[in-house]
């Protein structure tokens, strides 16, 4: 059946209720959200667990190899669905054909016009040869990312590169080059670290999202 001229596929509308609850208004469309993050809904909704972060078997294999874990569900229907996760702060990011790099544990939901994937971001260190991977979100639409405390958006320009503690890093977007460098953190200085510590350096033009709290990261003792 031909698609009527001017017809647009329904698009879910993301909005925040407070700073810790995401409301998504749907009219027959679908969104992907972190598995188990639904806290309430009205109307008619269906829920389906997705394998491989919604990327199918290939995505499941890739994520298992890379260690970048992400379990999503598809929510589809008519009405409003509310999402939250451990009282985390929620931030909305609009994408217009560009790409967002985000830690899988910080991704709450994405609209139907966005695709998720896995990207290699660099080497942790030549001495260990460990690769680092992150989740990518690209396309047109809205994504909701989470932070432990209110997220801070930091601008990066050619004149002002940015160095970030990996435990505070959430996401970044724009034309940014990412590299890893050894660095001494407060934990290392206080004798609480015993392994290789490193920092993430961003150069180029874009923004980086950080949280005012350090989580345990692949960097180990940071």
Specify the 3-state DSSP secondary structure of 211: coil
pTM: 0.79
What class has domain 13-210? alpha beta
| CA torsion through residues 61, 64, 66, 68, sign | positive
Distance CA 70, CA 66 (A): 11
| CA torsion through residues 202, 208, 213, 216, sign | negative
Q: Which two tokens stand for residue 60?
A: 């499941």
pLDDT values of the chain reduced to their tens digit, one per residue, 222 residues: 444 455 456 789 999 999 999 999 999 999 999 999 999 999 999 999 886 554 444 444 344 444 445 789 999 999 999 999 999 999 999 999 999 999 988 999 999 899 998 887 654 433 333 346 789 999 999 999 999 999 999 999 999 999 998 889 999 999 999 888 875 555 555 555 444 467 889 999 999 999 998 765 544 333
pLDDT at position 182 is: 74
Cα dist from 165 to 79, 82, 217, 222, whole Å: 40, 32, 10, 7
With tokens 């994937």, the residue in question is: 117
């Amino acid at each position: 059946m031909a698609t009527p001229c001017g017809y647009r596929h329904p698009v879910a509308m993301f909005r925040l209720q407070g700073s810790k609850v995401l409301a998504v208004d749907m009219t027959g469309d679908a969104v992907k959200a972190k598995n188990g993050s639904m806290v309430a809904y009205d109307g008619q909704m269906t829920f389906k667990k997705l394998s491989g972060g919604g990327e199918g078997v290939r995505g499941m294999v890739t994520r298992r190899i890379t260690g970048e874990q992400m379990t999503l569900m598809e929510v589809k229907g008519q009405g409003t669905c509310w999402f939250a996760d451990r009282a985390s702060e929620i931030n909305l990011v609009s994408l217009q054909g560009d790409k967002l790099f985000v830690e899988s544990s910080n991704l709450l939901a994405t609209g139907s016009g966005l695709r998720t994937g896995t990207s290699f971001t660099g080497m942790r260190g030549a001495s260990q040869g460990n690769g680092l991977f992150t989740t990518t979100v690209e396309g047109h639409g809205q994504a909701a990312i989470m932070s432990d405390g209110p997220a801070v958006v930091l601008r990066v320009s050619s004149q002002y590169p940015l160095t970030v503690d990996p435990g505070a890093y959430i996401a970044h977007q724009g034309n940014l080059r990412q590299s890893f460098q050894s660095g001494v953190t407060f934990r290392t200085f206080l004798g609480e670290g015993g392994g290789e510590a490193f920092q993430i350096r961003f150069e180029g033009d874009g923004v980086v999202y950080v949280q005012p709290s350090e989580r345990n990261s692949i960097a180990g003792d940071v």
